[in-house]
Every structure is written in C-alpha cells, then in structure tokens.
Structure 1
Amino acid sequence: MKIKLFLAAPVLALSLLSSAVTIAAEKLPADPTMDPLMRSAGFLSSHPDLRFRLLGLEKLKNNEPEKAFTYFKRAAYYSDKPSQGMVAEMLWNGQGVTADRSLAYAWMDLAAERGYAGFAGLRERYWAQLDDIERERAVELGQEVYAHYGDEAASPRLARVLHRGQQGVTGSRLGSAGALTIYVPGPDGEGMQISGSKFYDRRYWDPQLYQQWHDQVWMKPRIGSVNVGAASQIPPSINEHRIPKVQPQIDAEEPATDDAMPNLQGGNTKP
C-alpha cells in the first residue's frame, strides 16, 4: 500500500513547498521581499517561515543548494515544518551539505512533530534504513535539534514577529495592500488565493490560528508516494517520538544567511 507523501522526489519538493506570496498573474520575482507592494503590505517580512522557505526554493532553482540549505534552516528557526523536512532531505541525500543520515532523521522527526503524515512516513523510512549505531546517534543529535528548532522554542519567535507585523499593517488597510491577491500553494499543488480584503484575516496573524491553518494544509498531503508496507493507514506508533523531551532554547542564535535584509528579531543579519 502506498501513502501519499510530499518529499518523495526533488521535483515534488520544489513544486509543493513553495508557500509564496505574490501578485496574482505575475511571475514570481527572484526576491519578492524586494517588491515595493509586498514590502508595503508587510506580509513576507512578517512571515519569516514563508519568506525564508521561498528564498530557499529560489536558491534551489538557481542551482545553489548550499545557500538553499541555510535558508531552509532559517525558516526552520521560525517553526516551519516543510523547511525542516527539506533540511532533513538535503542531509539525507547530501544535497548542498555533507550527508548525515543520523542528523537527517533528527530533522525529519522534528518535521513530524505535529503529526503531519507525510513527514512521519518519511521519518519511518529513514529509521528503517539506519543501523543501531546511527540510531543511537540520531537520538543524541535530535535533542540539540529540538532544543533549538522544536515548536516550544521556535513558535514563540514566530509569534513575536506575527504580532509585530499585525500592528504594522493595521494602519495600511487603505493602502496598496488592499489591491493584492496573495497566492499560497499547498502540498496538494493547488494552493489558495487570498484577496486583499482577506489579507488581514486573523488566521494569518494570530499565532494559534496561523498554526491551525498550517495544520489543515500539511496534516495529510496528497502529492507523491512512498511505499511504507501493507498497512492501510499510518500506525499510531510512528507518532511516538524517539527523541526525549528537552529544554527549549528560545533565544538560540538565528541561522545566518547571505541576504542583506534586516534580521526579523532586530538588527541586521550576519554576512
């Protein structure tokens, strides 16, 4: 039996991980954060999970996997599960980074933290291919990964940025943002369009509602397939994380990327 997953192949990873914010019917620019309308609307600058995931995808398209990896890690810093899954895949395949199967497992376990079926299936595929020594190392490395990037550490960071962004855009409802159509593709490849009037919908700004929206999009993706055996559904046991609970490090250092945009936590990014 085959369960639909979304990182079964690099092509699928590129097509369905692009939660981009663009002007409708226009070609996606290399860096949408430089678009005057998008800056005035404040959407990407206030959603670092989407922004850095998008930049990572752009680097992959431009055949710059090393840089893509750094952007996915930075999106992961803001609790972006698809980007955490991409970090895992790149580590597993040695794409843009030295291959490390144990560390890849730790990252895929993290991507499956909320029970997303696609990530959980891949995590189990990874685990089945690790030997005993690799498994022991994966559990050990996973504790540091969770301390820096787990939801308990990363979600509060994103919440601060969302709150700040919501305060900033509230006063611009009559500005250019109202004329935008925002396109956010999801794991089914179809995506959804958000009109300017819905730009201010609380589900895109309230941290709890925003996560619920992501859960609805990513819980059961329908693209790609990985053979996980004869079971008719994902066994409950794969929702039991093998990595023990750790103390979250909310103030862990933000990964550096080579963009010159301001650091969303305050200050400038490192070169």
Structure 2
Amino acid sequence: MINAGFLSAHPDLRYRLLGLEDMRAGRYEDALRFFMRASYYADKPSQGMVAEMLWNGQGVENPDPVLAYVWMDLAAERGYEGFIGLRERYWAALDEDQRASALERGQEIYARYGDDAARPRLATAIRRGRNQITGSRVGAVGSLQIYVPGPAGFEQIDGAKFFDEKYWDPEQYMAWHDSIWLKPRVGRVTVGEIEAANAAVGDAASRIPTSTPQIDAAEPTTPYRDEQQLGSKPLE
C-alpha cells in the first residue's frame, strides 16, 4: 500500500508506468491515453512518447506528423537535449503548410499541458500525497523497493530514501527529473537530416506562440488498472 501511495502521490510516474505496461503489451490506444494523462502532470518523457506514437501512427487511425511535432516541442520545453534533437528532426520533415498548422495547433496543447499549467497540478498532487502517507502506518517503508522508469532503464528507490526531499518537495522533484533527462541517451528516429538536428541541439526555444495556461483543464480519462503492485519491479 505504501508503494501504491508513492505512485498515487506522483501521477506523472504512475501513468507513465501504466502507459509503458500497455505499450509493451501492444495495447497502443490505452498506452496513448495513459501517456497523455501523465503529460497532464508535466511528465516530459510521456509527452515525448505521445509524440512518437502520433508520428508512427500507434494508438491512432493514421499518423499525425503535425500534432507529433507539437508534442515533441512540448517534451523539449525544459531543454532536454534528446527531445530537442527529435523535435528538430520532426520539423525538418514537415512541409511549410504543416509547419504553419503545427504553430497554430500547438497553442491549445501548450495551454493544457505546458509547464505553466501542468507543474502546479503535480505540485498539488505531491503535497497531498505526502500528507496522506506521513499520516498513515509506514513501518514497512524500510524494506520497500520502488522502480521508476528513466532514460537508461529503471531507477530503484529503496526504503531508506523514501522520504528524501527530492521526491516530496515539488521544486526538488522537478530538479531531480532535470538531472536525469537533461542529457539522456534517447532512442533515435529516422526522419529529417541528422546534420540539421545536431546543429539545433541546445536551442530549447519553442517556435509555438505562448498561450494562457489552463491549470483547471479537465484531466484526461484512462482505463482502470489494478495498480497495487505497479512499480514493485521493472516491467519485463
């Protein structure tokens, strides 16, 4: 139950894990919905997964390169190098009409899923979850092991570090993510010119015009999953 409580307090990780589980099982439509729900809580890796799925036509009727670019631009919002490179490859593969459409459509996505809207939601969930866990019985925490997904596989959180501030202070939590994802080794895609993408890495500025954040936007819905054991061991 402590394990489930940790993931309930960190919905970005919770829904990313569920999305990965469905992705590996070939349930692409469900996976896409879980990644979008994780994205609602500022999860950049999940936003990158949404982009890849839209680009490849997984979980949707047809590939949507325009919307895929928008989501990869969103994933690159904090300057994560791997996502910037992928974003630039997407951009290089779009024609002028598609680029114009991406800049227009992107404003609505940013308003709902950009950091200005999504980070306050995640901060609220973390603070609420911490209060619930510290007010419950936590005697088994010392032997607990939780696995969370990262760019190089799964990272283990053991009981001794369960209440480390980097997991429970929203600002430190985001800094922890930045330390993991700023320069990760991210899978490559075969679109665009590699030279053009490499030249743009390091320029995190979005091409999409700014929009008013919608912090109270409706949360995406997802299928029900039994999450009690989720995160107790790496997905196989």
Q: TM-score, normalised by structure 1?
A: 0.77
* 1:62–1:192 distance in 2 versus 1, CA, 3 Å: closer
Write the mapping of 1:7-46 to structure 2, written as runs, cut at 5 A. Answer: 36-39=1-4, 42-46=5-9
Aligned to 2:31: 68
Establish whether residue 90 from structure 1 lines up as the match of residue 53 from structure 2.
yes
Aligned to 2:223: 258
Taking every aligned residue pair, what percent have the same amino acid on both sides?
59
* 1:223–1:257 distance in 2 versus 1, CA, 3 Å: closer
Establish whether residue 170 from structure 1 lines up as the match of residue 128 from structure 2.
no
Aligned to 1:78: 41
* Match 1:140 to one of 91, 104, 118: 104
Is this contact kept in 1: 2:48–2:83, CA < 8 A? Answer: yes
Letter in 1 for 2:33: T
Q: Which moved more, 1:106-115 or 1:221-230?
A: 221-230
Establish whether residue 220 from structure 1 lines up as the match of residue 183 from structure 2.
yes
Write the mapping of 1:227-266 to structure 2, written as runs, cut at 5 A. Answer: 228-229=194-195, 234-236=200-202, 238-259=203-224
Aligned to 2:230: none
Aligned to 1:111: 75
Deviations 1:207-264 (A, max 9, x none): 100000000000101254467218876544x3221001110000000001111689xx
Structure 1 spans left out of the alignment, 5+ residues:
1-35, 263-271
Establish whether residue 154 from structure 1 lines up as the match of residue 118 from structure 2.
yes
Aligned to 1:208: 171
The residue matched to 1:79 in structure 2 has which SS?
coil
Is this contact kept in 1: 2:146–2:157, CA < 8 A? Answer: yes
Is this contact kept in 2: 1:91–1:101, CA < 8 A? Answer: yes
For 1:136 and 1:166, the matched residues in 2 are separated by: 43
The residue matched to 2:206 in structure 1 has which SS?
coil
Give the structure with the larger helix fraction.
2
Is this contact kept in 1: 2:2–2:133, CA < 8 A? Answer: no
For 1:232 and 1:73, the matched residues in 2 are separated by: 28
* 1:144–1:203 distance in 2 versus 1, CA, 3 Å: same
Establish whether residue 186 from structure 1 lines up as the match of residue 147 from structure 2.
no
Structure 2 spans left out of the alignment, 5+ residues:
228-236
Q: TM-score, normalised by structure 2?
A: 0.88
* 1:185–1:72 distance in 2 versus 1, CA, 3 Å: closer
The residue matched to 2:150 in structure 1 has which SS?
coil
State the aligned residue count: 223
The residue matched to 1:229 in structure 2 has which SS?
helix
For 2:25 and 2:225, the matched residues in 1 are separated by: 18
